[in-house]
Structure 1
């Protein structure tokens, strides 16, 4: 599903720095189709492709020769062939062949981006300083992805949203929108922040997603959010994992991917479990799109007027800001665990 959500621009492109962190590009299998994939992200154009062994590479898309868009070329024997002069680039980004020249200039190469695959998803690393991830900065492995007890199809939706990604990340601490927007008043709400991880624990009752709903979630860096959920749904205990991730296109636009995994009900047939998964995924989509609709009509507020019970919005933004500065400048306070219990009506 593709949608375009418009919100008033909030950040000027000339002054914008893209967040340091792992960014999800969807399911890895989609890139193993023998095609070149254009990626308009981080204010530039990249291309993704898989070699003959299935290893996925991401390169800067503009040819260092005369600037042609390599993503508009062809993939031949695992090499990207430029549409302009047929220079061929291998998975490392180096030019491997020039049809009219035997000597390859040493500077004939394009940037290769760091990637990883985890939980059947493809991620690309962005760091304006050019450094690899620090120790421990990684996407966690979900053991459920290896279990036959779970449906392994993420049921991903892709949306293009015209606003700054911070609007999305704010939801991590917004304790009081669950009732008005989702019809799910908050019973318990807690946030923690430490290093590159920000968490939320939510408890409440949802007509759409089930009673005694528990949602335990975390951002791993600025852009990848997993939520483990469990609830009594239609007389059944349903467990699921939500993926909510984004990649910036420009300062005020991002690709948003939303997906759900659902645990199978023991004793049910594959067809019954498939139908349950689809039903629950659709309920989650409806709930999530209620947030999307809010973003489509609101504007950015840098200094919100807050009331008691609103949640640690300023503390979240302080945590989020670390991904937009040099690592050496990140305040030491982010190494310490900070906890905020906002609501406790259990």
Structure 2
């Protein structure tokens, strides 16, 4: 189930360099519905569709012929048919047929974006340099997604947030907002930065999500964030995995997908576990939306005035900056492991 939450109207902005990395487009299965899906992301328009064999392709949406929007065309026999002159494009992006011409121009193709499916989710790779991911730059497989001990429904919410994505990523190093915003004072807080991965370890007590809360999370690149959580909730130990991922639309707006997986309670019926999952998902939603309310009205501060115990905000932003520069310019130091404990036990 996907719940749509429209925060604000998306503005039009100037050209901007979007982060290098894998970006989540939601659950893969939703694209296997025989339809063309319009994607307004990375400051442009793309389209996604599944060919007859079920493989999902993401293509530039504007026809190289005369610029028509291919996402408003038709999907016929696994090909995108342009609404303007009925040129037909294969899943590879190559034009395969022109109704009034036997010879297809060699350059008649639209860009195909690199995609992959992991954890029942569809990801698209963005790199302004046009290069494939370096070795090891990937989205990790979550073994829980294949386990019968876990509910496999992500319970995804999709919303539009009208701000720069850095506001969201800043939370990875913000040790002191948990108490004021979420009612979960921090008992232990640490960060680890190494290469394309930025981690957070949090311990606290939450009125909403349960006592003895332990949350271990990581960004894999600039936009995909998984959190493993464990807490005592209604007298039970509840384990969950949170998905918090975004895709930029413009420099000052992004699509944000938030989802939760919940581990089943042994001995409970499917109905009981489903009810627990929905209840816990709702508690997580309400907690997460407290952050959303802050982002809606705050302003961007490039050089924040920090106090002792705030967390390594500057170190986080240094780590984050690597995704917005050429790979050859990324400092070697950012590949080294850095551990920072902000709140000790």
- Judging changes above 3 Å, is the alpha-carbon distance between structure 1 residues 154 and 183 closer, same or farther for their aligned structure 2 residues? same
SS at match of 1:3: strand
- Number of the residue aligned with 1:261: 261
Residue 3 of structure 1, aligned match among 2, 5, 8: 5
- The alignment partner of 2:103 has SS state of coil
Give the Cα–Cα distance (whole angstroms) in 2 for the partners of residues 158 and 8 of structure 1.
14
Asked whether the 8 Å contact 2:10–2:253 carries over to 1, the reply is no
* TM-fit CA distance, 1:6: 5.1
Q: Which residue of 1 aligns with 2:250?
A: 250
The CA distance in 2 between the partners of 1:230 and 1:4, in whole Å, is 30
Please tell me whether the aligned partners of residues 5 and 157 of structure 2 are also in contact (alpha carbons under 8 angstroms): no
The 1-side partners of 2:313 and 2:118 are apart by: 30
In the other structure, the counterpart of 1:316 is 316
CA contact (8 A) 2:265 2:273 kept: yes
- Computed over aligned residues only, the root mean square deviation of the Cα atoms, in angstroms, reads 1.3
> With structure 2 as the length reference, what TM-score do the two structures score?
0.98
Give secondary structure in 1 for the equivalent of 2:4: coil
Could you say which residue in structure 1 is the equivalent of 2:14? Answer: 13
What's the TM-score, normalizing by structure 1?
0.97
Q: What is the correspondence of 1:190-201 to structure 2 with a 5 Å cutoff?
A: 190-201=190-201
Measure how far apart 1:159 and its partner are.
Answer: 0.3
Residues 87 and 98, structure 2, Cα contact 8 Å, conserved in 1: yes
Structure 2 unaligned spans of 5+: none
Q: Alpha-carbon deviation of 1:13?
A: 2.5
Aligned mates of 1:220, 1:7 — CA distance in 2? 28
Give 1:132's aligned residue: 132
Deviations 1:228-278 (A, max 9, x none): 000000000000000000000000000000000000000000000000000
Q: Tell me whether 1:326 sits opposite 2:326 in the alignment.
A: yes
Instruction: Tell me what 1:45 maps to.
Output: 45
Deviation string for 1:169-201 (max 9, x for gaps)? 000000000000000000000001000000000
5+ residue gaps, structure 1: none
**What is the DSSP-based 3-state SS (H/G/I as helix, E as strand, rest coil) of the residue aligned with 2:187?**
strand
CA distance in 2, matches of 1:5, 1:86: 37
In the other structure, the counterpart of 2:31 is: 31
